[in-house]
Amino acid sequence: MLTNNQNKNQKKPLVTNFIRNLLPFGVRSQQGSTLPMAIGLGSAMMIVGAVAVMKGGQENTNTTSSEQSKQAMAVAEAGVTNVQSFLAKNPSLAMLDLEDWQEIVKVDPNDPKKVEDKIVSAIPPLAEKVEEMKNATNTGSSNGNQESYLCKATQPSSTSSLDSSLGETFNAEKIIEGLQSVAGVKSNSKDTQWVPVGNNGSYKLLDYSRNASEDGAIAIIQGKVGNAVAQLAIDLQGSFNVEGGTINSESTPIMIDGSGDGAPALWITDNTDNDFGNNDFGGNVKITVSDCKKMVGEKPDENGNFEYQPYKNGPKSKGGTTVLTKEPMPPVPTPPSDAISLSAITGDMALPRINVKVKGKTINDTKSSDGYYHYKVNVSQGNSINLKGNDTLSINDNVVLHLDGNMLLSGNSKIKTDSSEKLQIYGSQNTTSIGINGGGESGNVFIHAPNANAGVNGGGSSYPNISGSIWVKSWGKGWSNSNSGVLVANPGKYADYLSGETRQKPKSSTPEPITTTYNNVGKVSNFTRQPISSNK
């Protein structure tokens, strides 16, 4: 049986007991044993020290490895945050797979349209809507009644508001740069590259795949610090809904107010025989045709413009374009019952007549209920207006002339209007000629004579010769049109003229813009740490 002291002795460490046991030996046998004893004691101490050093080194190694593993996990999480932020700014990319991203970075970032098309083509629902819209734009509605007035060749090309569909910050160069610098996508390899984070870490996107339900994606991201690698599997939400890109195909066209649109500087209804010479027009030129497929001369360019005179002696438009349209020219307004009868204007005259003495009588013209002074102008030798020499017709208020014959300005004659006043001239079925010859010029005037051929030859030195708009049957036949200045400019809006006040137009058949609604893009729904098969 062991005593308490013996028990205590047994509990002492091996090395301590070993040294303790050496001491009696030294006492009992000191002669000739001192050196061996010292050597043995030193060896024992060396063994103890080596064991302690090895144990401490292992503990330090374990501590460093554990710390790097934590850092690697933090780096992987930083990679998740970076990818989330990038996808939130470019939600369309969140709807694709890593393989799609690898195809996108192959596109030249300096060609935004190609980058845009590449992204759209990789999203089937969006690609289908874009194609549907293109087809609708090219063919119009199935019944043709819903088409715009403009002939297809002169319709402006329609786009699909893809900037909003692909993300508010859509920028081709930034998208490709982000795929490379944030997601580590390579243009020449299906492998991705490590993306640096901080001073010592980097992360790598191993995979990004849309899930089967198409309401999210799975991303696998590794983080690396030193030799330690941590791996995360992230379930990222993200769904989308594509709308628009359709047109109204009702059999009856939907008409809307068109009086607020800008009026053309020149509108003609006959494009078979015109001579525009050197004439310029400071605004749009509109040509009405009965059938868009039977256009005379060369067709307009791909943008629908006639800027470079694609048919002989075509009109030149400065500040506008020339378009073919199926819109019918409206009829001239009927003179009101209280319109004032007026002899042909063949010399100086001021309208309205206020306190004017004529054959001993004082004449004060009165306005009609619409606020205009209306005059029915009779004919003299075929003309309702025939000004020559220095004759001047002065307009001092809002005046409307309803002609029963033609109109001619020659010599240095003028129609003078104050900037705040307007003159509207409407021709009848007998009005077949509207002309300005020599130095004649007109101020702020609107001329509408559906049966007339109009033209300007000369026109003085002040341009534009006419501030307003001219709507006639044809232009230039029988006129040399040598004038090289702007003939007609500042046309205003349809609503400025009686002929255009009630203008209606079909609701555009251009498909509604494509809009894509994205939901919860990049939101994490599941976060799983995965084992690493081998350090990288």
Say if residue 25 is in the same domain as residue 165. no
**Domain-embedded: residue 535:** no
Q: What is the domain count for the chain?
A: 3
The per-residue pLDDT for 249 is 54
Say if residue 173 is in the same domain as residue 287. no
**Residue 304 near residue 153, CB atoms below 8 Å:** yes
**Residue 457 near residue 278, CB atoms below 8 Å:** no
| 524 SS3 class | strand
Other Cβ atoms within 10 Å of 481 Cβ, number: 22
- N- to C-terminal Cα separation, the chain: 61
Of 56-70, 385-399, 507-521, the range with the highest mean pLDDT is 385-399
The per-residue pLDDT for 486 is 60
CA-to-CA separations, 153 to 166, 291, 294, in angstroms, rounded: 29, 12, 12
**Domain-embedded: residue 294:** yes
384/364 Cα distance (integer angstroms): 22
The per-residue pLDDT for 45 is 63
> pLDDT tier at 245 (50, 70, 90 boundaries)?
low
- Residue found by looking up tokens 């006040």 in the block: 501
The per-residue pLDDT for 125 is 79
Provide, rounded to the nearest whole percent, the portion of the chain with pLDDT above 70: 67
User: Per-residue b/e over 75-98, b at no fewer than 16 CB within 10 Å?
Assistant: bbbbbbebbbebbbbbbbbbbbeb
Domain finish residue from 67, 83, 102: 67
Of 413, 433, 439, nearest in space to 475 by CA? 433
pLDDT above 60 for 408: yes
pLDDT above 50 for 142: no
Say if residue 104 is in the same domain as residue 144. yes
Q: Write down the pTM of the prediction.
A: 0.54
More confidently predicted of 141 and 427:
427
Other Cβ atoms within 10 Å of 67 Cβ, number: 13
**Domain-embedded: residue 214:** yes
What is the average per-residue pLDDT within 50-73? 66
Could you give the angle at the alpha carbon of 359 between the alpha carbons of 355 and 364, nearest 5°?
25
Domain residue limits at 271: 257-506
Say if residue 220 is in the same domain as residue 345. no
The per-residue pLDDT for 527 is 80
Say if residue 192 is in the same domain as residue 336. no
What is the average per-residue pLDDT within 101-128? 87
> pLDDT tier at 428 (50, 70, 90 boundaries)?
very high
> pLDDT tier at 40 (50, 70, 90 boundaries)?
low
Say if residue 332 is in the same domain as residue 481. yes
**Residue 368 near residue 336, CB atoms below 8 Å:** yes
> pLDDT tier at 455 (50, 70, 90 boundaries)?
confident
Say if residue 443 is in the same domain as residue 501. yes
What is the average per-residue pLDDT within 341-346? 96
The per-residue pLDDT for 184 is 95
168/346 Cα distance (integer angstroms): 64
| Per-residue pLDDT tens digits for 281-323 | 888 888 887 766 555 444 455 555 443 333 334 566 666 677 7
The per-residue pLDDT for 490 is 76
3-state secondary structure 186-255: CCCCCCECCEEECCCEEEEEEEEEECCCCCEEEEEEEEEECCEEEEEEEEEECEEEEECCCCCCCCCCCE
**Residues contacting 284, CB < 8 A, separation 6+:** 262, 264, 265, 317, 320, 321, 322, 323, 491
Say if residue 273 is in the same domain as residue 415. yes
pLDDT above 50 for 141: no
Question: Considering the chain, what is the average pLDDT of its residues?
Answer: 77
- Residue found by looking up tokens 């087809």 in the block: 135
Say if residue 61 is in the same domain as residue 194. no
